[in-house]
Amino acid sequence: MPDQAEPLRQLIKEQFSPASLKQTRLVAVASGKGGVGKTNIVLNLALTLAAQGKKVAVLDGDFGFSNIDILLGLKPEYSLQDILDGKVTLKKALMQGPHNLWFVSGGAGIPADETRSQKAVSRLANELHSMDGEFDQIYIDFGAGFGALTEEMMRLCDDLLLVVTPENTSLADAYALLKMMTIRGSVPQVQLVVNRVASFVEGSATAERFMLVVNKFLTINLRILGYVLEDTAVSRAVNRQIPFVIGEPQSAVTKCMSQLAKNSLSEELKVTDEHGIKAFFKRFFKRNS
Ligand SMILES: Nc1ncnc2c1ncn2[C@@H]1O[C@H](COP(=O)(O)OP(=O)(O)O)[C@@H](O)[C@H]1O
Ligand SMILES: [Mg+2]
């Protein structure tokens, strides 16, 4: 759609001057099937990073099934749906949470159809662009499965944080998601998190099993970000509407979040020219021209 790509082309021209260095890293959070713990993990990981002084935002992209606001016990005025509908800017929609974490809820809208999605991606891309440098990391928590908007956005982000559990169904669906993305084009760097493990041994065995299949059949850059133990602190946090890293700082699952945070800040994941919002735009432009 050249009419929609034109303003972006202009933006890219302006933005690819070597002068500006500060970049925001975009991380898409995905899973094959739902209910594997994506929202709890991204929220608590983001809170952990925010508590360490990183400026982090989480956008809840699970339209219609949004629950980041519920997990935080906060009632935002605007949602991501309002941003996609052009009703409000991302800057205005962002609500401040604990530890100076910023977030946008998904809202209760119906998922956009193919045509609206292209427009929605452009809009979101523009909004993200306007925030470049404002945050160290922006996580976008997508719903389970594979809508058009989700697919496009997942592809454009720097990393895909893929959450699985040791259940065969979760692994099979996560594999199907990667395969589908591979068939339709490129896949960003994938960071694997194995959630709800009984032990770290189970976590690494699961990750290795998954990597073996992925490396055999797909050409994907996959790395293990870490493991998250099964812990009743998670459901207590959900019910109390207080994230477990805040409500239960001594819990096993909180310690897992610290490890994930540490791993996600490691050397390998440093922002380069091929990462951040500018790179997002470069990819967006390539795909739409
Ligand atoms: N590590 C864990 N230990 C125990 N229960 C968990 C864990 N992770 C997730 N859960 C359970 O799974 C439910 C769904 O998690 P949620 O983050 O909403 O999943 P998703 O965003 O993938 O749909 C939580 O409400 C909680 O009861
Ligand atoms: Mg969720």
* CATH number (domain holding residue 262): 3.40.50.300
The domain of 181 spans: 2-13+23-288
Residue 260 lies in a domain: yes
CA of 10 to the centre of ligand 2 (A): 35
* The residue type at 87: K
Residue 122 lies in a domain: yes
Residue 150: per-residue pLDDT? 79
Greater pLDDT, 147 or 58: 58
Q: 24 and 130 in contact (C-beta within 8 Å)?
A: no
Residue nearest to atom 16 of ligand 1 (CA): 37
Nearest in space to 104 (alpha carbons), one of 47, 59, 44: 59
CA of 143 to the centre of ligand 2 (A): 6
Residue 279 lies in a domain: yes
Number of domains, the chain: 1
Residue 273: per-residue pLDDT? 58
Q: What percent of the chain has pLDDT over 70?
A: 81
Assign 212 a pLDDT band (cuts: 50, 70, 90): very high
CA of 39 to the centre of ligand 1 (A): 8
Residue 253 lies in a domain: yes
Residue nearest to atom 2 of ligand 1 (CA): 230
Ligand nearest to the CA of 163: 1
Residue 164 lies in a domain: yes
Ligand 1 atom closest to the CA of 62, numbered from 1: 21
User: What separation, in Å, do the N-terminal and C-terminal C-alpha atoms of the chain show?
Assistant: 8
Ligand 1 pocket test target in 31, 38, 39, 40 with most atoms within 8 Å of CB: 40
Ligand 1 atom closest to the CA of 36, numbered from 1: 22
Element (H, E) at 225: strand 222-229
Q: What's the pLDDT tens digit per position in 149-175? A: 778 788 888 899 999 999 999 999 999
Residue nearest to atom 15 of ligand 1 (CA): 37
Ligand nearest to the CA of 198: 1
Residue nearest to atom 25 of ligand 1 (CA): 235
**Is the pLDDT score of 240 beyond 90?**
yes
- CA 263 to CA 5: how far, in whole Å? 36
Residue 18 lies in a domain: no
Ligand 1 pocket test target in 150, 234, 241, 257 with most atoms within 8 Å of CB: 234
**Is the pLDDT score of 61 beyond 90?**
no
Based on the number of CB atoms within 10 Å of its own CB, is 105 exposed (0-12), middle (13-18) or buried (19 or more)?
Answer: buried
**Is the pLDDT score of 14 beyond 80?**
no
Ligand 1 site residues (CB inside 6 A) read 31, 34-40, 67, 195-196, 228, 230-231, 234-235, 238, 253
Q: What's the pLDDT tens digit per position in 133-149? A: 899 999 999 877 666 77
Assign 131 a pLDDT band (cuts: 50, 70, 90): confident
